[in-house]
């Protein structure tokens, strides 16, 4: 599957990183589901540990993509932060 301007079906660094992100997300989702459906604490903890490992790998991939300007990051202004905080803050009893 070609990405961007790559029409020769040859993947460069950008395509490889994007593919790695997709793969790691799928693995993290699978471990999350497996942890939720585990019937023993030991098995659940194993899946949670594996999921944490996948999340760390994803963080590293996203960090590398951002360094290469392949993942634009838009900083939220204070009004957006305040709005989101109010929207998701639990109601006080």
Paired tokens of 83 = 């709005």
**pLDDT tens for each residue of 3-22:** 555 556 788 999 999 999 99
In the block, residue with structure tokens 């693995």: 27
What is the reported pLDDT for 1?
Answer: 46
Torsion angle, CA of 49/50/56/57, rounded to 10 degrees?
170
Listed by start position, the domains of the chain span: 13-88
Whether the pTM exceeds 0.85: the reply is: no
Q: What are phi and psi of 10, to 5 degrees?
A: -110, 130
d(CA 3, CA 6): 6
């Amino acid at each position: 599957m070609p990405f961007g301007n790559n029409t020769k079906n040859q993947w460069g660094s950008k395509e490889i990183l994007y593919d790695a992100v997709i793969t790691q997300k799928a693995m993290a989702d699978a471990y999350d589901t497996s942890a939720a459906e585990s019937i023993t604490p030991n098995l659940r903890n194993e899946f949670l540990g594996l999921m944490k490992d996948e999340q760390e790998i994803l963080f590293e991939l996203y960090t590398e993509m951002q360094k290469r300007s392949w993942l634009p990051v838009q900083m939220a202004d204070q009004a957006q932060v305040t709005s989101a905080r109010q929207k998701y803050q639990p109601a006080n009893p």
